[in-house]
Amino acid sequence: MKTSPRFFFILTAIGMAGFATGAAAAVDVSSAEHVKPALPVIPERTFQLTDFGAIGDGTTMNTDAFKKAIAAVGQAGGGNLVVPKGVFRTAPFALCSSLDLHLDEGAVIQAPDTFEALGIADPATFKSQAEASAKYKVPEPLITGKNLHDVALTGTGVIDGSGAHWWAWSERAARNVADTEPGRVVYRRPHLVTFSGCERLRVADITLRNSSMFHLVPRNITDLTIERVKVRAPWDGSAPNTDAIDPGPVTRAWIHHCDIDTGDDDIVIKSGGTDILIEDCTIKHGHGISIGSETIVGVHTMLVRNCTFEGTDSGIRIKSMRGAGGLVENIRYTDITMKGVANAIVLQLDYVDNNRPNFIGDPTKVPAIRNILIDHVKIEGSRNAGIIHGLPDRPITNITLQDVAFTAEKDFDVKDADHPTFERVTRTIQPGVGPAKLPGEH
């Protein structure tokens, strides 16, 4: 007998179909709800990049101009370095403390669009991966900040990674031509903007686009603010691993009013963090708002609210794997809208990284997920309502859905986990309502 969508709703309402009802254990995210990271303190001195010989003609390399200007800011004790309208090509450069790198409207900081411009051999010249690996060293990210304090990256300009020539020699590109070009060389790719070991970091209003790999990577940051940032990269599979915003570990982070459309994770907490607030973000394509896959430090007390997802592969996603895991707990997602999302809710401890299918890692680092609250969520037209996969020795526990309505082709798939608690959940299971699969997608 064929089960109707109406019958699925009735099963949910009376607590059948293997799902529990009733009061769930408390999920405490109170310290994340009102988190306001300390902002960087920048002296009110202003420096113009063009005063240091920079030429924004889209051709001239301005690496020396950036380095001289930043050195001058550092020697003066900090200030604002203004990049005016124009296209300023540059090789990688590093920032200093007490600096606001400000991009005016129409300003573009652009990475070179050839390997030659970075002094790197064309990968097509190598006969094997071993030869390439012996001679090739991945370059630094275009912009870096290490062990700094009071740093800002602001303005309505653009930072462009010119990533197309890198994507053509990625792991995915090699897999795509494995039958016709076996042994194709892979070049490890640099990120676009990275910060490591910094206190009081703010990134505001800029556009990041076309990174060769991850766009914005703030690691080991205390007091992080990312606001009104736009990130763009092709989402059709031609630009793999182009994550938008990858913080972690991080303590006190506020990410809000960001507009993201990329080909991989849109916002993902890596390794760990605590007191994280993500709100009022618009996500199109990519893999939604994620935690993992590395969760070694653990993620505690995170709130995601007032966000929309449209056409993404995933919406809410926590992924980890044996060998790179830690505890993820006290996470809440509320006031979320999803349309045309392939996998609406994914909580997965048996994740497999396509780029590292044989990963072992540290066998003592076993991931765990517990105390997750998903409430006031509307999901329209999903292929899969949810995947909840734990590990036999580390089942996922205390997952609660409250005031959730979804329409999906398939219901929840639960394995090695306590069945989630459903409170006022409407489930409509209907064939054909999910998004069409992309070419080559399984």
Q: What is the pLDDT of residues 72-109, one digit of tens each?
A: 999 999 999 999 999 999 999 999 999 999 999 999 99
- Asked whether residue 69 is domain-assigned, the answer is yes
Residue 353: band (very low, low, confident or very high) from pLDDT cuts 50, 70, 90: confident
pLDDT, tens digit, 9 for 90 and up, residues 170-181: 999 999 999 999
The boundaries of the domain holding residue 102 are 46-232
The mean pLDDT of 6-13, rounded to a whole number, is: 39
* Whole-number pLDDT of residue 263: 86
What is the CA angle 211-216-221, rounded to 5?
160
pLDDT at residue number 83: 98
Q: Where would I find the beta strands (DSSP E) of 104-241?
A: 107-110, 143-146, 149-155, 158-160, 193-204, 207-209, 216-227, 230-232
* CATH code, domain with 175: 2.160.20.10
Whether residue 150 lies inside any domain: the answer is: yes
- The answer to whether position 332 is within a domain reads no
CA atoms within 13 Å, Cβ hemisphere of 146 = 5
Q: Which residue has tokens 């005031």? A: 403
Token pair 């080559």: residue: 440
Report the alpha-carbon distance of residue 303 to residue 281 in Å, rounded.
Answer: 13
Checking if the pLDDT of 17 tops 60, the result is no
Percent of the chain with pLDDT over 70: 93
pTM, whole model, 2 decimals?
A: 0.94
Give the H or E element holding residue 6.
helix 5-14
* Token pair of 186 as six digits: 């892979």
The phi-psi region of residue 266 (left if phi > 0; otherwise alpha if psi is between -120 and 50; otherwise beta) is alpha
Structure tokens at 163: 């990533």
d(CA 348, CA 241): 19
In a domain, 401, yes or no: no
Instruction: Name the token pair of 325.
Output: 């895991």
Contact 56, 71 (CB under 8 A): no
Gap between the Cα atoms of 53 and 46, Å rounded: 16
CA distance 315 to 336: 9
Question: 428 in a domain, yes or no?
Answer: no
Render pLDDT for 108-145 as a digit per residue (tens, 0 to 9). 999 999 999 999 999 999 999 999 999 999 999 999 99
Read off the pLDDT of residues 212-252 as tens digits, 9 standing for 90 and up.
999 999 999 999 999 999 999 999 999 999 999 999 999 99
Residue 19 has pLDDT above 70, yes or no: no
Cβ neighbours of residue 395 closer than 8 Å, sequence gap 6 or more = 416, 417, 418
Please tell me the predicted confidence (pLDDT) of residue 7: 36
Position 108 in a domain: yes
Identify whether 307 is part of a domain.
no
| Residue 4 banded pLDDT, cuts 50, 70, 90 | very low
Q: What is the pLDDT of residue 283?
A: 98
Q: Closest by alpha carbon to 128, among 172, 163, 190, 174? A: 174
Query: What does the pLDDT read at residue 436?
Result: 86
Count of domains for the chain: 1
What is the C-alpha separation between 42 and 63, in angstroms, rounded? 23
β-pairing, 289-291 with 314-319? parallel
pLDDT at 437 over 50: yes
Tokens of 23: 């009061």
At residue 161, the 3 state secondary structure works out as coil
Q: How far apart are CA 322 and CA 178, in angstroms?
A: 28
Confidence check: pLDDT of 398 > 60? yes
Q: Is residue 218 part of a domain?
A: yes
> Token pair for residue 206?
């800029």
pLDDT for residue 1 is more than 80: no
| Banded pLDDT at 67 (limits 50, 70, 90) | very high
